[in-house]
Amino acid sequence: MSGPVLAIHGGCGVPPRGSLTDAQERRARDGLKGALRAGWALLRDGGAALDAVEAAVIALEEHTAFNAGRGAVFNADGKHEMDAAIMDGRDLKAGAVGGVARIRNPVRAARAVMERTDHVLLIGEGAEALASRAGLELVAPDWFSTDERRASLREMKARQARGDVSEASQRLKHGTVGAVAIDRAGHLAAATSTGGYTNKLPGRVGDTPLIGAGTYANDATLAYSGTGRGEIFIRTVLGHELHARMAYKGESLTTACDAMVFGDLKRMGGGAGLIAVGRDGTVTLPFNTAGMYRGVASASEGWVSIYDERESL
């Protein structure tokens, strides 16, 4: 066992190098650093992987650079519908929420579903009622809104009207945040949170809150959080597919993740990325898009990245 490790992502919907301004890159890297520090502070001091991934995701939800919590994208009706999940690799306990619009930190609500109910996934008003009973903060739906996301919705609608389904138009849609960790005791955990896709149909639920698709953790193999075109992650049941390749086929973490991201997912037309940590502490962060907001913290390394650069924590 190599000691605790935390990896995070802020989505693989990154425009090609040179298209973000220096200020935008700075803001994203600072946001990633804040989230890594929040989670790593817990892990380093012997905290549980579950608490670390929740803390990191909360920090990313609070940051408007990322498509989760505040800064979430708009659906076709100009509303936010957010999804989140958390999973504990120790006992395969999991909780998730789908289509929530008023919970300040959807990942906290996912944890409340896991810890306070016999269910795994609650949606909409029922999830918000549980969050309220659990003492979580509810906010007005426009608390999540930013001008940047409003502009993306306008642009997506204009592109759609012109029938433009180019790669550039796909990129406008993307984003998700997630964290995976292994703690000192060797337990794994994963959490993911997202606003989904710009201009998605009202009621659309993505891969993020579907355990085994966008989020998965199992102490026997890996903790995983995905980002990209959710429908493809659902159809490949990606998280469980990675687990199965490792458990039944004996593949290494890296082999399994690369095979899916650069093989199956790519073939299916999906811009995709993921972060994963194995039971031996190995970390991998593959993506087949121009970049992925991401970072790693452990006793031996600490860095964030958008493209192929590494900036120290």
Q: Where does this chain bind ligand ASP (CB under 6 A)?
A: 11, 13, 174-176, 194, 196-197, 206-208, 214, 227-228, 230
CB atoms within 10 A of CB 281: 16
Residue 8 and residue 179 in contact, taking contact as beta carbons nearer than 8 Å: yes
Q: Which residue number has the CB closest to ligand ASP?
A: 230
Beta pairing, strands 93-100 & 272-278: unpaired
170 or 218: whose CB is closer to ligand ASP?
170
Rounded CA separation 257/266 (Å): 12
CB atoms within 10 A of CB 236: 20
152 or 298: whose CB is closer to ligand ASP?
152
User: Smallest distance, Å, CB 192 to ligand ASP?
Assistant: 8
Beta pairing, strands 121-123 & 93-100: parallel
Residue 66 and residue 10 in contact, taking contact as beta carbons nearer than 8 Å: yes
User: Smallest distance, Å, CB 2 to ligand ASP?
Assistant: 28
159 or 184: whose CB is closer to ligand ASP?
159
Q: What is the identity of the amino acid at 220?
A: A
Rounded CA separation 278/187 (Å): 10
Query: What values do phi and psi take at 217, rounded to 5?
Result: -150, 135
User: Smallest distance, Å, CB 275 to ligand ASP?
Assistant: 12
Residues in the chain: 313
197 or 224: whose CB is closer to ligand ASP?
197
User: Smallest distance, Å, CB 196 to ligand ASP?
Assistant: 4
Q: Which of 176, 192, 221, 236 is catalytic?
A: 176
75 or 284: whose CB is closer to ligand ASP?
75
User: Smallest distance, Å, CB 176 to ligand ASP?
Assistant: 3
Query: What values do phi and psi take at 192, rounded to 5?
Result: -145, 145
194 or 284: whose CB is closer to ligand ASP?
194
Query: What values do phi and psi take at 293, rounded to 5?
Result: -65, 125
Q: CA-based Rg of the chain, rounded to a whole angstrom?
A: 17
User: Smallest distance, Å, CB 127 to ligand ASP?
Assistant: 16
Could you tell me the two tokens for 213?
């698709």
Q: What is the dihedral of CA 199, 203, 204, 205, to 10 degrees?
A: 130
β-sheet bridge partners, residue 311: 304
Q: Is 64 a catalytic residue?
A: no
- Residues belonging to the active site: 176
